[in-house]
Chain A
Amino acid sequence: MNPPNALRALALTAALAAGCADDSVRYPTSLDAGWQPPRSSRWAQPDGGAAGYAYVSNSLMNSVSILDLAARRTVTTIPVGVVPLAENGPHHLAVSVRDNALYMPLSFPPPSVPSGPHAAHGSSTRPGVLIKRALDDFRLLGRVDIDANPGEMLLSPDGRRAFVSHFDLRRAQAHPNDRAMQRSNLVVINTRTMEREFTVPLCVAAHGMAVAPDGNTVYAACYGEDALAVVSLAGARPEVTLVPIRGELAPNPTSPTYGPYAITAAPDGSTVWVGCSPPNASAGSRGLFIAFDTATRRFDAARTTTTLQGTPFFGAYSADGNSLVVPLQGRDAVVRLTAAAPLRVMEQRAMSADDCVLPHVISRGPDGLFYLVCEGRHDRIREEPGTVLALHPDTLDVVARYPVGEYPDAIVFSEAPR
């Protein structure tokens, strides 16, 4: 869920809690006509392991779509929810082929309309759950409670830890005069035991994250504070430093100026790019895109722009490390930028509605292609399944198209990119 949508949902929920239920407001799935969850055949991993597969979370379908990259087809869609009947809200995901494991935080978003007269009395903020499923047959291997509204989730390079940020706007609104209480936690999970290792107070509405190649530093975009959090895990206890994007932390965390939301990390760990989604953005607005030098721990004024034609989301580096490709929303497009200073737009490709609605994340696959997750339409007017596009790394031409479920949010691969 992108920030403006999240704020709208939050406002709507608050209105409903105040007794303003509106029958015309539709639950954000096709459930009014009776929910039809994916009825897939049981996924059985073929001999040869998980090589060449991609996994895509479908956040409005409680499921994961599995793509066969060699055959260029969507193999199947597997349900992953653990709470019956409910919108489980799987957003981000990570896989560890070595450990035969898939990890997903489930966010349990509040319904936009009450599910019935009793539930209208007030819905609590439900804690999220991080689940661990076997990659070969998706059986449930473990689960652990995390905080409400989990945001992004990443594994450490050795796979032993899972890091979960929490994009908790409700918490920010609930404690307007207490910055410490507004801040959400970074939860660090031991993936073997599926128990919390650390709960680290981080910043207001943290979302996108990156992990340094040595696993000792985590970076998180702090939407409510106009800052990047740098978390050192090298000592006995995690240490958090907030680096403001410009000048100072946002004075009002519920209405930040920049709204840092997405992260794109250089594979060598030298740079963390922050994509901002201003909360007051309208279609066509331009978000700040800025580089953070991890060596100097400063934002790089020579690598910043506010002139992109849309809001920058989660991008990926080219194989040679000289450029990065970033999806833009507002005016849906994909843009290629220089990785080194001075920051320059090398190429921009507009996405028609036939190609890609709401490009959200680009990831470089094991076959060298870029994989672009297109959310598809998921507003009050209609909901349509999303799409994953395979883009040629040089031309950004569409070379393959994969149908996935409703509101796809993230993609990961069974092999490292090359």
Chain B
Amino acid sequence: MRRALALCLLALSCSGEVRDGTAVELGASLAANPRVTRSQYNPFACLTCHAVRPGGDRALPGAPLQGAARRPSFWGGEVTHLREAVQRCWVDFMRGDARDLDARDGQAISAWLESLAPAGSTEGTAPVPRTWSRTIRDPGATGDPAQGRVAWQRACAYCHGALDTGAGRLAEFVSVLPAATLAEHCDDDIAVAGYTDRQAYIRGIIAEKTRHGSFLGYAGAMPPFAVEALSDDDLRHIASLFRCP
């Protein structure tokens, strides 16, 4: 992968279109720009879900990007190539065309990621643990709404905006919660899913959407939060904010 990235940089340099240093700068700006994938339905930039370095107040589904270019694996060990890991985000969340990753903008993002993993530094180069349980259970009725609101601010508000109003959400088409979920699911035939308690069912829906994102039978473009990114306790508190009338 390092060879491939180096080749990308070389190609950029030799083309005369973008010089080496400019590629990194361009990549840095593109990483913060949702329009990079050219999809009108994409509200995400790389930095929506990833921090450059560990730390910070937000609970982010993506791993920090520093050192990523030299990590041996990604997505909790599901992927061993950076290009493939990036493609998952690019296509599954950002609604992009994978072929664009081989064009100028994609190469610039590669160059920027490479710049975050300079030779000689081992910072951020270890695999980042990510665990997604495939089977979802009701997180339980013991969540605390007050703590749920705090967790909401850390994990959900950046995309979904303010609780109840959606004020400040990432895009108009991002769901306003909890109203959208309750409107969609409070009338479900819960027996189909093996539930007898409607509130438990709704908590299960929230847990499923949070842990699986747009995968494993749920549509949309939301990234999945692994347990390392959002604890079971925080999830339980967030789920307490969703109650059917």
Residues of A in contact with B (beta carbons under 8 Å apart): 19, 21-23, 27, 29, 31-43, 62, 78-79, 81-87, 111, 113-121, 123, 137-140
How far does the alpha carbon of A30 sit from the alpha carbon of B119 in the complex, in Å? 38
Q: Are B217 and A32 in contact (CB under 8 A)?
A: no
Q: Are A37 and B77 in contact (CB under 8 A)?
A: yes
Most chain B CB neighbours (cut-off 10 Å) among A37, A113, A117: A117
By a CB distance below 8 angstroms, the chain B residues around A21 are: 193-194
Q: Are B73 and A31 in contact (CB under 8 A)?
A: no
By a CB distance below 8 angstroms, the chain B residues around A119 are: 208, 216-218
- The interface-forming segment of B6-14, B29-37, B129-137, B169-177 is B129-137
Q: Are A121 and B76 in contact (CB under 8 A)?
A: no
Q: Are B212 and A116 in contact (CB under 8 A)?
A: yes
By a CB distance below 8 angstroms, the chain B residues around A87 are: 134
By a CB distance below 8 angstroms, the chain B residues around A34 are: 131-133, 227
Q: Are A40 and B216 in contact (CB under 8 A)?
A: no
By a CB distance below 8 angstroms, the chain B residues around A29 are: 134
Q: How far is the CB of B122 from chain A (nearest CB, A)?
A: 15
Q: Are B73 and A118 in contact (CB under 8 A)?
A: no
Determine if B50 is an interface residue (Cβ-Cβ < 8 Å): no
Determine if B153 is an interface residue (Cβ-Cβ < 8 Å): no
Q: How far is the CB of B28 from chain A (nearest CB, A)?
A: 25
Among residues of B, the one whose C-beta sits closest to the C-beta of A116 is: B208
15 contacts between A and B (CB under 8 A): A23-B194, A29-B134, A35-B131, A79-B80, A82-B84, A83-B215, A84-B75, A114-B193, A116-B204, A116-B207, A116-B216, A119-B218, A120-B194, A138-B80, A140-B83
Q: Are A40 and B134 in contact (CB under 8 A)?
A: no
How far does the alpha carbon of A116 sit from the alpha carbon of B235 in the complex, in Å? 15
How far does the alpha carbon of A22 sit from the alpha carbon of B193 in the complex, in Å? 10
How far does the alpha carbon of A19 sit from the alpha carbon of B195 in the complex, in Å? 10
Known contacts: A27-B135, A115-B134, A118-B217. The answer to whether A78 contacts B80 by CB under 8 A is yes
By a CB distance below 8 angstroms, the chain A residues around B136 are: 115-117
Q: How far is the CB of B47 from chain A (nearest CB, A)?
A: 20
How far does the alpha carbon of A23 sit from the alpha carbon of B223 in the complex, in Å? 27
Q: Are A115 and B77 in contact (CB under 8 A)?
A: no
By a CB distance below 8 angstroms, the chain B residues around A140 are: 81, 83-84, 87
Q: Which of B73, B76, B192, B205 meets A116, CB within 8 Å?
A: B205
Q: Are A79 and B216 in contact (CB under 8 A)?
A: no
Total B residues in contact with A, Cβ cutoff 8 Å: 45
By a CB distance below 8 angstroms, the chain B residues around A32 are: 133, 135
Among residues of B, the one whose C-beta sits closest to the C-beta of A83 is: B215
Determine if B72 is an interface residue (Cβ-Cβ < 8 Å): yes
Residues from 1 to 54 in B contacting A, C-beta threshold 8 Å = 1, 4
Determine if B160 is an interface residue (Cβ-Cβ < 8 Å): no
Q: Which of A35, A43, A86 meets B133, CB within 8 Å?
A: A35
Q: Are B72 and A37 in contact (CB under 8 A)?
A: no
Q: Are A42 and B78 in contact (CB under 8 A)?
A: no
Q: Are B80 and A42 in contact (CB under 8 A)?
A: yes
By a CB distance below 8 angstroms, the chain A residues around B192 are: 19, 120-121
Q: Are A85 and B212 in contact (CB under 8 A)?
A: yes
Determine if B209 is an interface residue (Cβ-Cβ < 8 Å): yes
Determine if B92 is an interface residue (Cβ-Cβ < 8 Å): yes
How far does the alpha carbon of A37 sit from the alpha carbon of B227 in the complex, in Å? 15
Known contacts: A34-B131, A35-B134, A118-B218. The answer to whether A138 contacts B81 by CB under 8 A is yes
Which 10 A-B pairs rank lowest in CB-CB distance, beginning with the nearest? A119-B217, A116-B208, A116-B136, A21-B194, A120-B193, A117-B193, A39-B77, A31-B134, A115-B216, A117-B204
Known contacts: A37-B77, A78-B80. The answer to whether A115 contacts B72 by CB under 8 A is no
Among residues of B, the one whose C-beta sits closest to the C-beta of A29 is: B134
Q: How far is the CB of B127 from chain A (nearest CB, A)?
A: 6
By a CB distance below 8 angstroms, the chain B residues around A83 are: 215
Q: How far is the CB of B133 from chain A (nearest CB, A)?
A: 5
In the complex, besides A117-B190, A120-B192, 9 extra interface pairs with C-beta distance below 8 angstroms are A36-B77, A37-B76, A39-B127, A79-B80, A114-B217, A116-B208, A137-B81, A138-B80, A139-B4
How far does the alpha carbon of A174 sit from the alpha carbon of B34 in the complex, in Å? 43
Q: Are A115 and B127 in contact (CB under 8 A)?
A: no
Q: Are A115 and B80 in contact (CB under 8 A)?
A: no
How far does the alpha carbon of A129 sit from the alpha carbon of B66 in the complex, in Å? 32
How far does the alpha carbon of A219 sit from the alpha carbon of B211 in the complex, in Å? 44
By a CB distance below 8 angstroms, the chain A residues around B79 are: 79
How far does the alpha carbon of A84 sit from the alpha carbon of B125 in the complex, in Å? 21
How far does the alpha carbon of A274 sit from the alpha carbon of B114 in the complex, in Å? 53
How far does the alpha carbon of A37 sit from the alpha carbon of B131 in the complex, in Å? 9
Residues from 81 to 99 in B contacting A, C-beta threshold 8 Å = 81, 83-84, 87-88, 92
Q: How far is the CB of A134 from chain B (nearest CB, A)?
A: 10
Q: Which of B88, B92, B134, B205 meets A117, CB within 8 Å?
A: B205
Q: How far is the CB of A385 from chain B (nearest CB, A)?
A: 16
How far does the alpha carbon of A265 sit from the alpha carbon of B132 in the complex, in Å? 42
Determine if B148 is an interface residue (Cβ-Cβ < 8 Å): no
Q: Which of A22, A33, A41, A116 meets B72, CB within 8 Å?
A: A41
Q: Are B75 and A123 in contact (CB under 8 A)?
A: no
By a CB distance below 8 angstroms, the chain A residues around B205 are: 116-118
By a CB distance below 8 angstroms, the chain B residues around A31 are: 133-135
Q: How far is the CB of A132 from chain B (nearest CB, A)?
A: 13
Q: How far is the CB of B235 from chain A (nearest CB, A)?
A: 13
How far does the alpha carbon of A123 sit from the alpha carbon of B216 in the complex, in Å? 9
Q: Are A40 and B80 in contact (CB under 8 A)?
A: yes
Q: Are B208 and A79 in contact (CB under 8 A)?
A: no
By a CB distance below 8 angstroms, the chain A residues around B4 are: 139
Q: How far is the CB of B89 from chain A (nearest CB, A)?
A: 10
How far does the alpha carbon of A118 sit from the alpha carbon of B133 in the complex, in Å? 15
Known contacts: A27-B135, A34-B227, A35-B132. The answer to whether A115 contacts B217 by CB under 8 A is yes
